């Protein structure tokens, strides 16, 4: 018998060399632990400030321990799409692609349409793709834009395939250096390129004019009738097949479907999680692809071969039971120089992504993620091996009460769910015949009495439904994989202002804290489910973002408190313990600087991130904590706040990187902290000659450092217009500051 050589796997697991970082990890942990011991041994000789510092530093040590756990075994997966078995086109797995948008003002349609175009043009057989656009704003403008986009897509997709275009979001492609685009191309490319550019500019102009002046009355009169006299939060389901690939042309354009789910005032709609579950059911009826990709409306496909890279990890895993989902990083194309608002997250995603990959896999980030449909339907990895046995009852009795309880009362959908769970990828040939059934599963009352949002589908109960859904999948025993080939798979737009950044961070931290205190907490899942212990610790590190606001706020206020009360929270300059604090400060900063330099970022970007992390934790995360406390007390519910998406052309260059302010309460903590530090430094200066001055040197230095961290707020005190902090905010902060000083003096 001839020797047969097994083909190489479609991906590699490559451990990362992190010996230097491991040494620094242990050094910081050792020093932090030593300083805690020192504080405990000297606690009886000091007062309240010393005790508070001990509590805060205990928290910092705990967080650092969680950090060491996450980063200890970094790993990367390298994919090789060319190594996938060469299959017949009909056997290539299908993928349903979801795009979600909720507000045509905060999320301009031209951004959403570029995302849709990039997905329609990915390098994958078109008849195996379907793109579903969820419009939670029920906007006729979004629908009109999608129809016009489909007309352009019929030209754009063949153009991309013909000339192997690498960047398939038109706005990005046409804004690139044309000399590079036009080089090494055939003569016929030049006129086609110019014609395509003119077509895209015409599409952009139509959408922008429709946004400003209204949709032309001569277009889509019958289709737009369904949008008349409806309210955004109170309307019936609208499902429109914009384009159907009836000929199953692999080089044509994928299916394109518009979905706006039913909303009623008395029915909870569960924000994005509810929209994703509607898309899951509608797509399950119409195309029922075994894999699903979801992206935010501003996160376009930057790598045309990303589907192939994801399939390497999904199809190449051992018996397909390891990778429950494949997550790509959120990378942004519109980053300002040196990242002044610290929201690019490049370093965090690189090192945390690798760290998660070395445990049970990365978190589900809500966009740029490929899911197995059977996993979203609640299948566990141990059930997959005995699938034929465990699913017999499902196929034998489609009216079974258990199936109705889980998936709802749609017979057509139960059939499609059973097929998906069994791995049957035979999608319906004609999707237009299934619109009526799709309307049923998109109704706002369909989920009542079912397991949607609790056991199957996207999970309810948190404004960060993505992390909660990923945690549920990990708790069943699934792993996930980080997919980050070159060029980057997806690119999106980051918040372009300080307020937008803080608003986004508040929403994230609120949802994460909701998960931590819920019955699906990773702490509970470690003991009752199949979540690995180290993965639990990694989840906890993220979920405690909001709680970190309390010790960090206290530590930021300690220097001012000690100067005002003539007390100390740091050892004196001549005490040996001082070297421990200096050592922690230096090693930690060297550690983080090395991460930034290794990623190719500047020292200024590092400083901006350090500054914004303190501002974020003492403002956005603090409000997130208060929001969850109010929810627990039953006073108010948490709210999903949409982040403003800006068109690159609409950003004022004069505002780029500058902190702007308004009357939002989120600016009150930062303003109060700055005023307190200024008061404390003035008091220290006035008492420079007394005998306590030398003993408070460390506190004065820390107070000055806090002012440097909050430099944007110090500038805002003297700024004008939108660059200045409103007088009302300054007055509130002044009252809080003087009240704090008075309380300190009375207490001491």
**Which positions are catalytic?**
136, 466
| Two tokens, residue 488 | 């980057």
Count other Cβ atoms within 10 Å, centred on residue 313: 22
Q: Say whether 323 sits in a helix, a strand or coil.
A: strand
| Two tokens, residue 560 | 């001012």
Residue found by looking up tokens 């909001």 in the block: 546
Q: Say whether 452 sits in a helix, a strand or coil.
A: strand
- Taking 3-state DSSP, the helix, strand and coil percentages for the chain, each rounded to the nearest 5, stand at 55, 10, 35
Query: Is 547 in contact with 55 (CB distance < 8 Å)?
Result: no
Torsion of CA 140, 143, 144, 145, to 10 degrees: 120
Cα separation, 281 vs 468, in Å, equals 19
Rg of the Cα atoms in the chain = 28
Q: Say whether 167 sits in a helix, a strand or coil.
A: coil
Q: Which helix (H) or strand (E) holds 115?
A: helix 109-120
Cα separation, 717 vs 733, in Å, equals 11
Q: Say whether 417 sits in a helix, a strand or coil.
A: helix
* Cα 698 from chain centroid (whole Å): 39
In the sheet with 300-301, reading across from the earlier edge strand, the strands are 300-301, 490-492, 331-332
Dihedrals φ, ψ of 606, to 5°? -60, -45
**Residue among 586, 372, 367, 647 at smallest CA distance from 491:** 367
Look at the alpha carbons of 537, 312, 473, 486 in this order and tell me if their dihedral is positive or negative: positive
**Residue among 544, 521, 513 at smallest CA distance from 474:** 521
Long-range (24+ apart) CB contacts under 8 A made by 516-519 are 516/540, 516/543, 516/544, 516/547, 517/628, 517/632, 518/461, 518/462, 518/468
Residue by residue, what is the 3-state secondary structure of 24-78? HHHHHHHHHHHHHHHHHHCHHHCCHHHHHHHHHHHHHHHHHHHHHHHHCCCEEEE
Pairing of strands 369-372, 323-327: antiparallel
Dihedrals φ, ψ of 647, to 5°? -70, 135
């Amino acid at each position: 018998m001839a020797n047969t050589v097994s083909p190489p796997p479609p991906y590699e697991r490559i451990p990362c060399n992190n010996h230097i970082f491991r040494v620094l990890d242990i050094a910081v942990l050792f020093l932090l632990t030593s300083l805690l011991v020192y504080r405990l041994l000297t606690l009886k000789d000091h007062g309240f400030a010393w005790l508070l510092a001990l509590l805060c530093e205990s928290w910092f040590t705990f967080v650092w321990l969680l950090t060491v756990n996450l980063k200890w075994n970094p790993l990367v997966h390298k994919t090789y799409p060319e190594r996938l078995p060469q299959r017949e086109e009909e056997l290539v797995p299908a993928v349903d692609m979801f795009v979600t948008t909720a507000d045509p003002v905060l999320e301009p349609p031209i951004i959403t349409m570029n995302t849709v175009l990039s997905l329609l043009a990915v390098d994958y057989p078109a008849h195996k793709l379907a793109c579903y656009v969820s419009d939670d704003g029920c906007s006729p403008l979004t629908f009109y834009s999608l129809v016009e986009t489909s007309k352009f897509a019929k030209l754009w997709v063949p153009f991309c395939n013909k000339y192997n275009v690498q960047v398939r979001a038109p706005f990005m492609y046409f804004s690139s250096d044309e000399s590079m685009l036009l080089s090494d191309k055939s003569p016929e490319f030049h006129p086609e390129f110019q014609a395509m550019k003119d077509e895209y500019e015409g599409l952009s102009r139509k959408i922008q004019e429709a946004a400003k002046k209204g949709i032309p009355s001569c277009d889509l009169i019958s289709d737009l009738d369904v949008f008349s006299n409806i309210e955004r939060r109170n309307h019936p389901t609208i499902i429109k097949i914009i384009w159907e690939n009836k000929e199953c042309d692999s080089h044509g354009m994928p299916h394109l479907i518009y979905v706006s789910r039913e909303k009623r005032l008395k029915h909870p709609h569960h924000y994005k999680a509810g929209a994703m579950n509607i898309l899951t059911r509608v797509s399950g009826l119409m195309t029922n692809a075994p894999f699903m990709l979801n992206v935010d409306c501003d996160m376009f496909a930057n790598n045309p071969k990303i589907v192939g890279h994801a399939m390497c990890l999904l199809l190449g895993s051992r018996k397909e039971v390891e990778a429950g989902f494949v997550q790509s990083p959120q990378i942004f194309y519109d980053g300002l120089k040196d990242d002044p608002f610290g929201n690019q997250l490049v370093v965090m995603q690189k090192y945390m992504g690798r760290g998660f990959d070395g445990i049970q896999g990365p978190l589900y980030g809500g966009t740029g993620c490929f899911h197995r449909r059977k996993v979203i339907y609640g299948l566990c990895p141990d059930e997959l091996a005995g699938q034929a046995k465990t699913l017999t009852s499902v196929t034998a009795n489609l009216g079974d009460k258990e199936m109705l309880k889980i998936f709802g009362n749609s017979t057509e959908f139960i059939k499609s769910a059973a097929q998906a769970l069994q791995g049957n990828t035979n999608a319906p040939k004609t999707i237009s015949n299934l619109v009526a059934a799709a309307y049923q599963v998109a109704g706002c009352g369909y989920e009542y009495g079912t397991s949607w949002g609790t056991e199957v589908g996207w999970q309810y109960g948190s404004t960060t439904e993505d992390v909660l859904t990923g945690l549920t999948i990990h708790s069943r025993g699934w792993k996930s994989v980080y997919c980050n080939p070159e060029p980057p798979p997806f690119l999106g737009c980051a918040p372009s202002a300080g307020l937008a950044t803080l608003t986004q961070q508040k929403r994230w931290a609120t949802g994460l804290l909701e998960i931590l205190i819920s019955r699906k907490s990773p702490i509970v899942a470690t003991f009752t489910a199949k979540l690995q212990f180290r993965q639990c610790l990694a989840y906890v590190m993220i979920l405690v973002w909001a709680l970190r606001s309390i010790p960090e706020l206290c530590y930021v206020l300690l220097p001012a408190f000690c100067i005002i009360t003539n007390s100390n929270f740091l050892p004196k300059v001549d005490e040996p313990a001082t070297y421990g604090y200096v050592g922690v400060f230096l090693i930690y900063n060297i550690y983080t600087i090395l991460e930034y330099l290794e990623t190719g970022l500047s020292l200024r970007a590092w400083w901006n991130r350090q500054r914004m992390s303190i501002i974020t934790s003492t403002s956005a995360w603090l409000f997130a904590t208060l929001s969850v406390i109010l929810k627990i007390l039953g006073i108010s519910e948490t709210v999903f706040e949409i982040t403003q998406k800006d068109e690159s052309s609409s950003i004022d260059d004069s505002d780029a990187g500058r902190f702007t302010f308004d009357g939002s309460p989120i600016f009150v903590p930062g303003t109060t902290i700055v005023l307190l530090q200024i008061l404390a430094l003035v008091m220290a200066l006035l008492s420079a000659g007394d005998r306590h001055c030398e003993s408070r040197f460390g506190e004065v230095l820390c107070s000055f450092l806090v002012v440097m961290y909050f430099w944007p707020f110090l500038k805002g005190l003297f700024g004008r217009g939108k660059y200045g902090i409103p007088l009302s905010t300054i007055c509130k902060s002044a009252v809080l500051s003087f009240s704090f000083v008075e309380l300190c003096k009375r207490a001491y």
